[in-house]
Structure 1
Amino acid sequence: MNARVVVAGALCERGRLLAARRSAPPEFAGRWELPGGKVEPGESPEGALVRELREELGVVAEPVERIPGEWPLGPGCVLQVWTARLISGQPRPLEDHDELRWLAVGELDAVDWLPQDRPAVREVVRRLPWDDPEGARG
């Protein structure tokens, strides 16, 4: 049986990564994650990421590159992460989150990441052009 896939987006803008603080469910409330959600039947992971970021943050985003690897979330469920570019909108915590923060590379340890997001964030740090102003939205 294939594992259920949960996708998350590593949104980076002006050298900062977007982190989202969970407000639900209670066991995750107050912890931080890369925003995203479950891939629905018949949906591509990239399509799910676009939909989830629209629902959770009110933005239009474009998946750029899948971060190699996947991380277990529980029985039969895995996390896959993509770097993503904001196309339009300003992120707001609409569903399942009560706060968003843009974190510079030196600030990533300032929040209490969910355990499954920690290795993904480490991979993102290795791959994103943190000092590249060309990656910044105008």
Structure 2
Amino acid sequence: MVDRRRAAAVIIRDGHVLMVRERGRGPSGRHDGHEYWTLPGGGIEPGESAEQAVVREVAEEVGLATRSVRHLYDTPYPSGWTACFAVEVAPGEPRLGVDPGRDCDCPRMVGLSWVPLPRSSASEGLMVPTLLMATPEDAAGPPR
């Protein structure tokens, strides 16, 4: 695991969490490798708080305006520790954004989907996947 701090958004609507489908780097160095689903989010820039980073990432990756942010938990992620936040967004439909500042001209983000949350009782707490591996069979959406 790389030691890079990240921030990620848990955006819930009607019992579903918003996730972004991304492509990892393949042998060529381009984003044509394995695909996976992840929460909207990314690296915390120098001088930026985790809260500021998650607001910026939500706007960049899914085109939604953030209304409120509440820290939920920290979790390990392949590129470093991730601070996950419950994010309330303004009404509207998400749209796939761009990932500015990348050193590659190929798309890394390739889709969005609302993933059903597992049912749990209020006393169990909310379980949200941070990362789901994608397979060719789930091209229409993430695993359920």
Same fold (TM over 0.5): yes
Runs of 4+ in 1 over 6 A off after TM superposition: none
Q: Cα deviation per residue 1:38-75 (whole Å; 9 max; x = unaligned)? A: 1111111111110111111111124432222331434x
Which structure 1 segments of 5+ residues have no match?
115-138
Q: 1:53 aligns with which of 53, 58, 73?
A: 58
* Higher helix fraction (1 or 2): 1
Q: Which amino acid aligns with 1:91?
A: P
Q: CA RMSD in A?
A: 2.6
2:83 and 2:14 mapped to 1: Cα distance?
23
2:13 and 2:84 mapped to 1: Cα distance?
17
- Count of residue pairs the alignment pairs up: 107
1:57 and 1:29 mapped to 2: Cα distance?
21
In the alignment, which residue of structure 2 is the partner of 1:101?
A: 113
1:20 and 1:47 mapped to 2: Cα distance?
19
Q: Cα deviation per residue 1:76-133 (whole Å; 9 max; x = unaligned)? A: x31111111112442111123211111222499xxx705xxxxxxxxxxxxxxxxxxx
Secondary structure at the aligned position of 1:52 is classed as helix
Which structure 2 segments of 5+ residues have no match?
26-30, 99-107, 120-126, 134-144
In the alignment, which residue of structure 1 is the partner of 2:23?
A: 23
In the alignment, which residue of structure 1 is the partner of 2:5?
A: 5
2:95 and 2:59 mapped to 1: Cα distance?
10
What is the TM-score when the length of structure 1 is the normalising length?
0.65
**Sequence identity, in percent?**
27
In the alignment, which residue of structure 2 is the partner of 1:37?
A: 42
What is the TM-score when the length of structure 2 is the normalising length?
0.63
Secondary structure at the aligned position of 1:68 is classed as strand
